[in-house]
């Protein structure tokens, strides 16, 4: 099983690993700092270097229980020591975007009690769907003011691991309308935006809300009677 280094250190840009398997289109490593994708956050890209040769990693995918670092062309051999380097500009922008969406989710839950029905992101922009019945341009303007006020609060952000039993004692930990946590998962990673939001989450985030920068709500639309979509973009 691949050790996920980013779970303990989201700011890790480079790492050393060993190739444990070579498969069609990529390699499996004993540990990685490449985010493997999930929860709406895309997987990372970057490079692996072995014996002086650099390989472009275009993404990470799950296949047959393995995390495959996708590489086009030649591949390093099994047992090779590789130096991994994350495309940091892209990753850091995704971290800021992911945290921005959690701020939005935290404000919506705290002030309006609306559950999440979907979400997605790419570097610098994203969207969240909420179970809102009443929705207006005035509400969107109010939300934009509130989320940027939370950015200005410079709230610290921490990752924690809870047992399944501990997690089950926190009723608001799962904000999605449908609980997406498989029953066989016994350790739950959480992201805590101090004083605002606590959610189960496996992604990468910044350490303080001030790193997010200005959040702009760039669109909103109805996807059904109880399903409203909010689109955001980071302005700097």
Query: What pLDDT tens digit does each residue of the chain (236 aa) get?
Result: 899 999 999 999 999 999 999 998 999 999 999 999 988 999 999 999 999 999 999 999 999 889 999 998 899 999 999 999 999 999 999 999 999 999 999 999 999 999 888 899 999 999 999 998 788 889 999 999 999 999 999 999 999 988 888 877 776 666 554 455 566 677 888 999 999 999 889 999 999 999 999 999 999 998 888 889 999 999 97
- CA atoms of 79 and 70, how far apart (whole Å): 17
CATH fold for the domain made of 91-234: 3.30.980
CA angle, residues 107, 102, 135, in degrees to nearest 5 = 45
Cβ atoms < 10 Å from Cβ of 164:
13
How confident is the model at residue 177, as a pLDDT? 47
CB 135 within 8 Å of CB 228: yes
Cα angle vertex 71, ends 67, 77, to 5°? 80
**Separation between Cα atoms, residue 145 and residue 110, nearest integer Å:** 15
pLDDT for 130: 93
pLDDT of residue 182: 61
**Residue 212: helix, strand or coil by DSSP?**
coil
Query: Does this model's pTM top 0.75?
Result: yes
CB of 174 within 8 A of CB of 149?
Answer: no
Q: How far, CA to CA in Å, does 193 sit from each of 56, 74, 104, 105, 217?
A: 34, 42, 11, 11, 20
- Choose the CATH number for 3-86 among 2.60.90.10, 1.20.120.1690, 3.40.630.10, 2.40.30.130: 2.40.30.130
| Domain assignments of the chain as residue spans, ordered by start | 3-86, 91-234
CA diameter of the chain: 60
For residues 75 and 60, what is the distance between their CA atoms, to the nearest angstrom?
Answer: 15
Give the count of beta carbons closer than 10 Å to the beta carbon of residue 77.
11
Identical fold, 3-86 and 91-234: no
Helix (H) or strand (E) holding 222: strand 215-222
């Amino acid at each position: 099983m691949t050790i996920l280094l980013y779970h303990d250190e989201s700011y890790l840009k480079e790492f050393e690993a060993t190739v444990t398997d070579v498969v069609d289109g990529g390699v499996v490593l004993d540990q990685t700092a490449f985010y493997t994708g999930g929860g709406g956050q895309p997987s990372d890209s970057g490079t692996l270097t072995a014996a002086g040769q650099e390989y472009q990693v275009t993404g990470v995918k799950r296949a047959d229980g393995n995390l495959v670092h996708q590489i086009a062309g030649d591949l390093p051999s099994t047992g090779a020591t590789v130096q991994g380097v994350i495309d940091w500009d892209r990753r850091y922008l995704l971290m800021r975007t992911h945290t921005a969406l959690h701020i939005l989710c935290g404000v919506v839950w705290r002030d309006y009690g609306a559950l999440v029905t979907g979400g997605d992101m790419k570097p610098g922009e994203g969207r969240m769907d909420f179970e809102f019945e009443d929705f207006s341009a005035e509400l969107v303007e109010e939300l934009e003011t509130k989320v940027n006020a939370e950015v200005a609060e410079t709230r610290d952000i921490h990752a924690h691991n809870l047992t399944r039993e501990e997690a089950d004692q926190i009723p608001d930990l799962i904000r999605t309308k449908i609980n997406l946590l498989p029953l066989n998962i016994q350790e739950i990673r959480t992201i805590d935006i101090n004083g605002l939001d606590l959610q189960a989450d496996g992604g990468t985030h910044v350490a303080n809300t001030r790193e997010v920068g200005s959040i702009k709500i760039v669109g909103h639309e109805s996807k059904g009677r109880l399903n409203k979509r909010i689109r955001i973009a980071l302005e700097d």
